[in-house]
Amino acid sequence: MELINALVAVTNYVIIPATAYGAQLALGALGVTLIYSILRFSNFAHGDTMAFGTGVVILITWGFQAMGISFGPLPTALLALPFGIAVTAALMLGTDKVVYQYYRKVRAAPVVMVMVSVGVMFVMNALTRFLIGVDQINFDDGTRFVINARQWRDMTGLHEPLTLRSTQVITVVTAIITVAALFWFLGKTRTGKSMRAFSDNEDLALLSGIDPNKVVAVTWIITGALATIAGTLYGLDKSFKAFTYFQLLLPIFASAIVGGIGNPVGAIAGGFVISFSEVGLTYAWKKVATYLVPSWEPDGLVQLLSTDYKYAVSFTILILVLIFKPTGLFKGKIV
Amino acid sequence: MSSNRQAGETSRLRAPLFFAIMAALILLEGFTSGWNSALGILNMGLLSAIMALGVNMQWGYAGLFNAGAMGFLALGGLAPVLISMPPTPGAFSGGGPGIMAAFFVAIVAVLAAVWIWRNLRGKTRGLAVTAVLIVGFFTYRWLFDPAVEVIEAINPSAQGNLGGLGLPTLISWPVGAVLAAGAAWLVGKTALGLRSDYLAIATLGIAEIIVAILKNEQWLDRGVLNVNGIPRPWPVPYEIDLQNSPDFVAQMQAWGLDPQLGSTIVVKLAFLVLFVIVILALIWLTEMSLKSPWGRMMRAIRDNEISAAAMGKNVTRRHLQIFVLGSAVIGLAGAMMISLDGQMTPTSYNPLRYTFLILVMVIVGGSGNNWGSILGGVLIWYVWVKAGDWGPDIMGALAAPFPDGGLKDHLIQSAPHMRMLVMGIILLMVLRFSPRGLLPEK
């Protein structure tokens, strides 16, 4: 019995939140890794792109709410999501036209591209702030729980509570759909195949008649979509705050590098490695410990790291990967 | 990058002209908004210029992208707290040994893990390293936690931290540089020699972590409770002492100045003199080293790593060296900033302001040119401050045609964010149309 209670506690406080967070990171890391493999630079503006996309989704959600449109038990933001994606993708294409295109033409060094993305980051940051401000915003208006603590107790009779929030289920389901669509696109469609060819060998791809402008444009559209979805899911699950999204840049980069930058499967795996380590190391294991060893009454929280240091976890994993396996868990590219 | 680094045919008058414009802007500020505000902008601008000098060493001389200047700056800022604050009675004797022992255990565990990794082979290696690290971590926490409790219990409303050594503030400046250099060595050792943007990501991470430590480790710097009343460096007087000195008041009245205003201006001027001395010393050192064989080697590596490596230069080693030196300069600026502010507020470290704005300063000033960094530092700081001031006015004018109501209010309210937009556009414009900056490298 105590063992089951311990398992429930671990599921409730570690497995469920880490799975949802991991799915959000994975979607973010997919965007970073796509830009990296097609355009060959680390996009520092990605966090702010996520913030911008989410900001647009929130505005449209408010618009829908004002018009009285709702999505039943699901959050209205899911209805607004396609519109948010369209706006963000348009912004991405515009940014590419105005900013990045020139650097591709002069074949600028990757590090110059990174610097350019810092400039874009400033502009995106300002746009998001103009759009929606810097405050914390909760925009989840759906049903809060799939299983709440009382239902769980009635269902199982266990005294250890377990709750499953609907945003967590929505996150995982949406992420699975998005990833499946992305892999289908990359693996089965003509454009997707030409993107992979472009990523593997740019010169050879150009030689075989692949239109680089189309590849780049599609990449930006997909990145805008991934960023908006990831940002919206994160905002639904936790809350929206522009600065938090900037800070997500570190775990997202860490996920992409841990998995092997430029490798989509790696980005997903990396997202879950980072999220499980982060949640597992910052969780206070006291409750689980008392279930497992009933005679032992720990005096602390049995917390390995305070939650304030969650970024240290991504950073440490990043450093370990850089030292021992710079290509990542799944073989990524090294340019 | 290498294609646009050739010596250009820029006019000799370019640098004096831009510095004259900069001086004119500061003078204009003095005449329109008062000398207090003008000197405040100039002092902070010069501090930003020192940070820009450090970032320029990394980006301009070596092409290394440091996305964590904020972290090294914050770490440097810890030095005045630890060196020049008065000691907290009983803190060091109470918790000092525990903390020292904990750090000793941590260092021994890491060294032992490294030794095992190098000397063992096979499956036992991974297990042994993990075991050593886990035992080390728990021993560390077992020693560390009680010591921290002891320290934080001492007079928590005013102290509750380890306190300083009570040494003169000027000593803390080089110590800040050393602290930052140590952190930079650790990061550079792992992230350099790999892809160029891995360093950017690693530094982005270390910066967040350093600031998180400063926010949460109360025993060290009181965390979010802030450390106040950090002593000023040696020749800088305190306003209150000046106002209480009859000689000073008489002198000010003889010049027709309000003694209170006069005292703040004198204090700012004293800081200004100190900062200018530090900047001149740094410029002299960096210019001398750039002209030396070492400087030529650095530029050769930046312009063509492969051919420099073929000439037998150890590129990664040189990169580590310049990265550590540049971060030391940023740490120095961090310590100086804390002595100027007189307080340590870890929540005020914001990456846009202290990392990315400094990069804008370097690039606008002219990558690789030290005078360019000084110019960029002061000029961009001026624009940053002024964009915050002018934002609401400009936005008000822009929003005037809209009808009163939600949209107009929203636009006017969001005007303070104008500076982000201005900075982004300046950075993008310079990178696109004038990648060598205002004062190109010779």
On average, the pLDDT of chain A sits at 89
Asked whether the beta carbons of B269 and B40 are under 8 A apart, the reply is no
Judge whether B16 is closer than 8 Å to chain A, CB to CB.
no
Between CA A272 and CA A264 the distance in angstroms is 13
| pLDDT value for B395 | 76
Q: Which of A153-162, B277-286, B375-384 has the lowest mean pLDDT?
A: A153-162
| pLDDT value for B121 | 81
The per-residue pLDDT for range B349-370, each reduced to its tens digit, is: 988 889 999 999 999 999 989 9
* Residue A179 clears pLDDT 50, i.e. is over it: yes
Between CA B180 and CA A158 the distance in angstroms is 52
Chain B positions in Cβ-Cβ contact with residue A253 (cut-off 8 Å): 201, 204
What would the 3-class secondary structure string for B153-195 be? CCCCCCCCCCECCCCCHHHHHHHHHHHHHHHHHHHHHHHCCCC
Chain B positions in Cβ-Cβ contact with residue A315 (cut-off 8 Å): 202, 205-206, 208-209
Asked whether the beta carbons of B94 and B150 are under 8 A apart, the reply is yes
The per-residue pLDDT for range A217-240, each reduced to its tens digit, is: 999 999 999 999 999 999 999 999
Judge whether B204 is closer than 8 Å to chain A, CB to CB.
yes
**How big is the CA angle at B148 (ends B147 and B149), to the nearest 5 degrees?**
90
Judge whether B421 is closer than 8 Å to chain A, CB to CB.
yes
Nearest to A125 among B205, B411, B420 (CB): B420
For residue A330, is it within any domain?
Answer: no
Nearest to A319 among B3, B202, B427 (CB): B202
Query: Range of A228's domain?
Result: 2-324
For residue A333, is it within any domain?
Answer: no
Angstroms from A326 CA to nearest CA on chain B:
8
For residue A334, is it within any domain?
Answer: no
Interface with chain A: mutation pick from B110, B383, B428, B429, highest number of A CBs within 10 Å: B428
Whether residues A315 and B205 touch (CB distance < 8 A) is answered with: yes
- Residue type at B333 in one-letter notation: A
For residue A32, is it within any domain?
Answer: yes
| pLDDT value for A251 | 93
Whether residues A102 and B425 touch (CB distance < 8 A) is answered with: no
Between CA B199 and CA B165 the distance in angstroms is 34
Chain A positions in Cβ-Cβ contact with residue B197 (cut-off 8 Å): 41-42, 110-111, 114
Q: Which residue has the higher pLDDT, B62 or A175?
A: A175
Q: Which of A184, A298, A246 is nearest to A47 (CA)?
A: A246
Whether residues A126 and B424 touch (CB distance < 8 A) is answered with: yes
Whether residues B201 and A250 touch (CB distance < 8 A) is answered with: yes
| pLDDT value for B4 | 46
Nearest to B209 among A119, A125, A315 (CB): A315
* Residue B120 clears pLDDT 90, i.e. is over it: no
Chain B positions in Cβ-Cβ contact with residue A118 (cut-off 8 Å): 356, 359, 427
The per-residue pLDDT for range B183-208, each reduced to its tens digit, is: 999 999 888 877 777 888 889 889 98
Chain B positions in Cβ-Cβ contact with residue A246 (cut-off 8 Å): 351-352
Nearest to A110 among B197, B428, B431 (CB): B197
* Residue A156 clears pLDDT 90, i.e. is over it: no
Q: Which of A39-53, A293-307, B255-269, B368-382 has the lowest mean pLDDT?
A: A293-307
Q: Which residue on chain A is closest to B3 by alpha carbon? A: A108
Confidence of residue B292 (pLDDT cuts 50, 70, 90): very high
Between CA B430 and CA B361 the distance in angstroms is 11
Whether residues B352 and A125 touch (CB distance < 8 A) is answered with: yes
| pLDDT value for B73 | 96
| pLDDT value for A299 | 67
For residue A329, is it within any domain?
Answer: no
For residue A332, is it within any domain?
Answer: no
Confidence of residue A135 (pLDDT cuts 50, 70, 90): confident
First to last CA, chain A: 54
| pLDDT value for B306 | 87
Chain B positions in Cβ-Cβ contact with residue A323 (cut-off 8 Å): 190
Q: Which residue on chain B is closest to A40 by alpha carbon? A: B197
DSSP notation for B26-51: HHHHHHHH-HHHHHHHHHHHHHHHHH
Average pLDDT over residues B46-60: 94
For residue A335, is it within any domain?
Answer: no
* Residue B92 clears pLDDT 90, i.e. is over it: no
DSSP notation for B249-296: HHHHHHTT--HHHHHHHHHHHHHHHHHHHHHHHHHHHHHHHHHSHHHH
What CATH number should be reported for the domain holding residue A79?
1.10.3470
Between CA A194 and CA B442 the distance in angstroms is 44
Distance set, CA B332 to CA A318, B178, B327, B377 (Å): 28, 8, 9, 16
Angstroms from B323 CA to nearest CA on chain A:
16
Between CA A104 and CA A81 the distance in angstroms is 31
Q: What percent of chain B has pLDDT over 90?
A: 41
Map tokens 């997919």 to a residue. Answer: A30
Chain A positions in Cβ-Cβ contact with residue B411 (cut-off 8 Å): 130
Confidence of residue B8 (pLDDT cuts 50, 70, 90): low
Nearest to B212 among A119, A311, A335 (CB): A311
Judge whether B423 is closer than 8 Å to chain A, CB to CB.
yes
| A-proximal residues of B, 256-315, CB under 8 Å | none
Angstroms from B235 CA to nearest CA on chain A:
39
Whether residues B212 and A308 touch (CB distance < 8 A) is answered with: yes
Q: Which of A170, A231, A190 is nearest to A31 (CA)?
A: A231
The per-residue pLDDT for range A3-26, each reduced to its tens digit, is: 888 888 889 899 999 999 999 999
How many domains does chain A fold into?
A: 1
Q: Which residue on chain B is closest to A121 by alpha carbon? A: B424
Whether residues B414 and A133 touch (CB distance < 8 A) is answered with: yes
Interface with chain A: mutation pick from B117, B149, B187, B431, highest number of A CBs within 10 Å: B431
- Cβ contacts of residue A120 below 8 Å, gap of 6+? A44, A45, A95, A99, B424, B428
Q: Which residue on chain A is closest to B303 by alpha carbon? A: A109
* Residue B343 clears pLDDT 50, i.e. is over it: yes
Predicted ipTM of the assembly: 0.88
DSSP notation for A57-71: HHHHHHHHHHHT--B
Whether residues B202 and A314 touch (CB distance < 8 A) is answered with: no
Whether residues B414 and A99 touch (CB distance < 8 A) is answered with: no
Between CA B170 and CA A66 the distance in angstroms is 60
Chain B positions in Cβ-Cβ contact with residue A249 (cut-off 8 Å): 204
User: Considering Cα of A40, then A44, then A47, then A52, what sign does the dihedral take?
Assistant: negative
The per-residue pLDDT for range A188-203, each reduced to its tens digit, is: 999 999 998 888 888 8
